[in-house]
Amino acid sequence: MEHELRKRFILNYLNKNELISIHNIVGNFNISEITARRDLNELESKGFLVRIHGGAIKSKITGGLFDFNNKAIQFRDQKIEICRYAAGFIEEDDTIYMDCGTTVYYLARFLKKFQNLRVITNSLPVISELLPFPRIKVYLIGGELDNSRKALYGPMTENLLNRYKADKAFIGAGGVSMAHGLSSVDEKEASVTIKMAESAKQVFLLCDSSKLERDSYFTYSSLSLISYLITNNSLEPQLIDKYHKHGINIITV
């Protein structure tokens, strides 16, 4: 757990500053310089930072790593089409979970046709999108607000999720791979996603193809967690076949 906390600290620090030093990490966690360098090397291998002498600087993706708006506009058209298709799995009288992923957010705009639907979420953008539709019953799960992610997290959020059951959960992921499963840029986001998935009869992973066969920094589940993987259609046929052979119901749109 401390290993994950250190990585979270490093990424958060670089989200606010241009540079982090080895001494900064050592001083905050009382670890050796070798351990601090190992943490930086691991994060560099995943593209989150660039190593320099005595520390690391932010990479291009680190600046907006935790920011909802920056992530939402990436591959926007693909995300919209993924959600348009995913909405076809929703039925009247369903209770659905929607996590705070930026792809899942776009699903909200395809729900206005329903006359009786329950939506449980920790995402403020999802809430905002559904405000004009009083026929949709929306349950905002409380907790601690993360301003950059525009979502609620923490023990309160997870405890409240334990009280609900849903027909379907629509979740996102920072990375998806056959070797390591599902991963996220944020362990607290991953904890909420797992709770939602475990409390739903079916789980739909919505993510653009840039997330496939890559690992984000915090691995949280095997692919067995999901019922369907819905992504855009820019994948090589060989990769799609590999997912099918691993028992993954992958749908490209």
Helices 33-45 & 2-16, crossing angle to 10 degrees? Answer: 70
Domain residue limits at 35: 2-64
The total domain count for the chain is: 2
Instruction: Give me the CATH number covering residue 102.
Output: 3.40.50.1360
Q: CA-CA distance, 160 to 140, in Å (whole number)?
A: 10
The count of C-alpha atoms lying within 13 angstroms of the C-alpha of 236, restricted to the half-sphere facing its C-beta, is 5
User: Pick from 28, 43, 64: which residue ends a domain?
Assistant: 64
Q: What is the pLDDT of residue 43?
A: 87
Residue type, 243: Y
Distance spanning both ends of the chain, measured CA to CA: 38
Q: CA-CA distance, 97 to 164, in Å (whole number)?
A: 10
Q: CA-CA distance, 21 to 17, in Å (whole number)?
A: 11
* Residue 239 φ then ψ, to 5°: -70, -40
User: Pick from 40, 64, 88: which residue ends a domain?
Assistant: 64
Q: For residues 76, 250, 236 and 101, what is the CA-based torsion angle, rounded to 10 degrees?
A: 30
27 and 14 in a common domain: yes
103 and 39 in a common domain: no
184 and 98 in a common domain: yes
Rounded to an integer, the average pLDDT of 210-227 is 91
How many C-beta neighbours within 10 Å does residue 229 have?
Answer: 22
- What is the tens place of the pLDDT at every residue in 32-81? 999 999 999 988 887 788 899 999 987 765 555 556 776 777 788 999 99
35 and 127 in a common domain: no
231 and 112 in a common domain: yes
User: Pick from 64, 84, 115: which residue ends a domain?
Assistant: 64
Of the candidates 245, 249, 202, 210, the one whose C-alpha atom is nearest the C-alpha of residue 230 is 249
Q: CA-CA distance, 250 to 127, in Å (whole number)?
A: 28
Burial of residue 235 (number of CB atoms within 10 Å: 0-12, 13-18, 19+): middle
184 and 59 in a common domain: no
Rounded to an integer, the average pLDDT of 233-243 is 93
- What is the tens place of the pLDDT at every residue in 114-144? 999 999 999 999 999 999 999 999 999 999 9
240 and 170 in a common domain: yes
- What is the tens place of the pLDDT at every residue in 177-199? 999 999 998 888 999 999 999 99
Q: What is the pLDDT of residue 61?
A: 54
Question: Residue 217, SS3?
Answer: coil
Pairing of strands 117-121, 19-21: unpaired
Instruction: Give me the CATH number covering residue 36.
Output: 1.10.10.10
Q: What is the pLDDT of residue 118?
A: 98
What's the pLDDT band for 170 if we cut at 50, 70, 90? very high
46 and 81 in a common domain: no
Q: What is the pLDDT of residue 66?
A: 55
Q: What is the pLDDT of residue 238?
A: 94
Rounded to an integer, the average pLDDT of 85-95 is 98
- What is the tens place of the pLDDT at every residue in 2-28? 887 888 889 888 877 789 999 999 999
What's the pLDDT band for 145 if we cut at 50, 70, 90? very high
